[in-house]
């Protein structure tokens, strides 16, 4: 296994060209805007985060947020506690 510079040098000595990577795929058509939400409970966001304490214990939290009213937020940890309103 050679590094990039060595590979380029070998290819140059042999008169070869390095294959180029393909570009990222682009959207063919225009994106449709997201529908405007007017009422609570129409769409929710879920976010799972995890970390560990200084004692070495790991924990995770599932955050659930209403897109219309962010005050309707719930958090659940993976230690078995039930949903707790956050705020």
- DSSP code string of 31-62: PPPPPPP-STTS-EEEEEEEEE-TTS-EEEEE
> Is residue 82's pLDDT more than 70?
no
| Number of helices (H), then strands (E), in the chain | 1, 4
Q: Name the pTM for this structure.
A: 0.49
Residue 84, pLDDT score: 53
> Is residue 2's pLDDT more than 70?
no
Residue 11, pLDDT score: 86
Residue 71, pLDDT score: 81
Model confidence pLDDT, tens digit, residues 13-70: 988 886 777 888 887 888 888 888 888 888 888 998 888 888 888 888 888 888 888 8
């Amino acid at each position: 296994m050679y590094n990039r510079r060595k590979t380029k040098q070998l290819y140059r000595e042999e008169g070869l060209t390095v294959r180029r990577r393909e570009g990222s795929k682009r959207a063919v058509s225009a994106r449709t805007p997201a529908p405007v939400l007017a009422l609570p409970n129409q769409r929710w966001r879920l976010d799972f985060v995890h970390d560990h304490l200084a004692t070495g214990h790991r924990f995770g939290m599932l955050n659930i947020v209403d897109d219309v009213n962010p005050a309707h937020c719930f958090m659940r940890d993976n230690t078995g506690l039930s949903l707790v309103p956050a705020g």
